[in-house]
Amino acid sequence: MEEKNFKIIVSFAGKDYYGWQKQKDKNTVQEKIEKALQEIFKFNVKVNGCGRTDSKAHGINYVANFKVKTRLKPENIKNALNSKLPSSIYVKDVIEVPPEFHARYSAKRKIYRYIISLQKTPFLEDFAYYLKEKVDIEKMKEISKLFIGKHDFKSFQSSGSNIKNTVREIYNIDIKKEKFFLDEDVELIIIDIEGSGFLYKMVRNMIGTLIYAGTGKIEIEKVKEIIEKKDRKLAPPPVPAKGLFFKYAKY
């Protein structure tokens, strides 16, 4: 039987998980999916994710892949997985792809979304960061332009990472205000960041800086200095992970 390579598109609510990456004695999304595949195929199946996600962060169209010898069709695998996964994880699609496809190494760009709530609401308790302070969204947009392009983002990499090359390219940052569809009294700020890749907690650290700028705590010259000095101690604290979503990857 010939080995096949399958790409899966996964949505997950991250509240109860320590991120995607499998860790010893931790509840993770990867661990849950590999356990479900083991039940289906009766042997261990290694799943490659397109990248790590922070504890309590979420996935909208998270991409992973695995190789297995099987006669099952993609739709059958999708249905079997969803029958065994908890309700907080849903496989949206299963696609057979060429053998050389790798969810992480084949990715060209990744897009993250962050949601900020400007009013308190119980409906977004686990999915948005409630910002009490008044914020200038136009100032946030102005500061975000400093991140566009190829830069050394060492100032925005949190401790705990052993990555030496901290240069990344940011292609686009889109910041918009919308009303929450369940309760139109609640305004949201939605930030989409598209880049070649991201360092540990880089997105959350960048957004923390944008919020500091939008609430008048730092000015544009200070943000320029933070980028140039490559010193994490100079940058504002990160925003909570619960408002962070892996949106999708481009291949």
Residue positions annotated with a catalytic role: 54
Report the residue count for the chain: 251
Contact 194, 247 (CB under 8 A): no
CA distances from 24 to 30, 169, 200 (A): 12, 32, 19
Which amino acid appears at position 131 of this protein? L
Cα R_g (the chain), whole angstroms: 19
CA–CA separation, 233 and 158 (whole Å): 9
Q: What are phi and psi of 107, to 5 degrees?
A: -70, 135
Residue 67's nearest CA partner among 7, 22, 10 is 7
CB proximity list for 85: less than 8 A, separation 6 or greater: 32, 33, 36, 91
Supply 103's token pair. Answer: 């969810």
